Structure 1
């Protein structure tokens, strides 16, 4: 499959079958995140693979957006291992893990695993409940699994602005 076709076909799954994804598929997804570029190659990402009933219950307490996914990746970064950009206003943490997460979302599609980016949760509460280290900051979660038979992309998924509305040449 051409990369552009993979990008066009990937959508946020909102209704998962409860069947667990295969270890080989998960390994490929995690490797794609591991090879994602990060500022100064700091590799500050911290990925927590949530699959146990106990941990999934914590996810369900913090968001309605698990959609029955059997695996959830909690994506965080080490605040002590970021690159600070010139001017000192920003660091690379959010950017780095967003690139990592994007690689994992596309890798999941490439191996036939459906996914959904989740940001509807309080990161501080989730961090506390999962007992993550103080120096880590949660940015997002990714639901992983196989779409249920009745699942379809949301109607607005296929609506895209014309490229002239989002891209400028100067």
Structure 2
């Protein structure tokens, strides 16, 4: 079962904008990430669910998509995510080298949860 989830997990760049993620969808994924292991048991990460259309439209221009794909600027209208989980760290922890590992583990956990809940389609 975990193998199936990992095999379906990948970097998604196009989304079905007609499906509106709800706060609970994102909170459920954040709960999974909270149970993920973290370096030094520091609990440095904080998660902010963003699902309101007006806020998404405001922050969308600041998002970067697939930086190595120079000819692609990101999802077009109708293909944009309807929910984002912003991952930030506690004040004063930005220089901790373990932080990037913690973010990676939390992100992968969120992605596996989204696949399991069929919030992404493969």
The TM-score by the shorter chain falls in which range? 0.7 to 0.9
* 1:106 counterpart residue number: 112
Note if 1:12 corresponds to 2:21: no
Q: 1:78 deviation in Å? A: 2.2
Q: 1:56 deviation in Å? A: 0.9
Contact preservation (8 Å) 1:42, 1:81: no
Q: 1:24 deviation in Å? A: 4.6
Contact preservation (8 Å) 2:32, 2:110: yes
Gaps of 5+ in 2: 64-72
TM, length-normalised to structure 1? 0.55
Structure with the largest fraction of strand:
1
| 1:3-42 map, 5 Å | 3-18=2-17, 19-42=19-42
TM, length-normalised to structure 2? 0.73
Aligned length: 109
* 2:66 counterpart residue number: none
Distance verdict in 2 for CA 1:74–1:24, change over 3 Å: closer
The whole-number CA distance in structure 1 between the counterparts of 2:25 and 2:106 is 16
Q: 1:101 deviation in Å? A: 1.0
Cα RMSD after superposing both structures: 2.4
**Quick one: higher RCO (CA 8 Å, sep 6+), 1 or 2?**
2
Q: Secondary structure at the match of 2:60?
A: helix
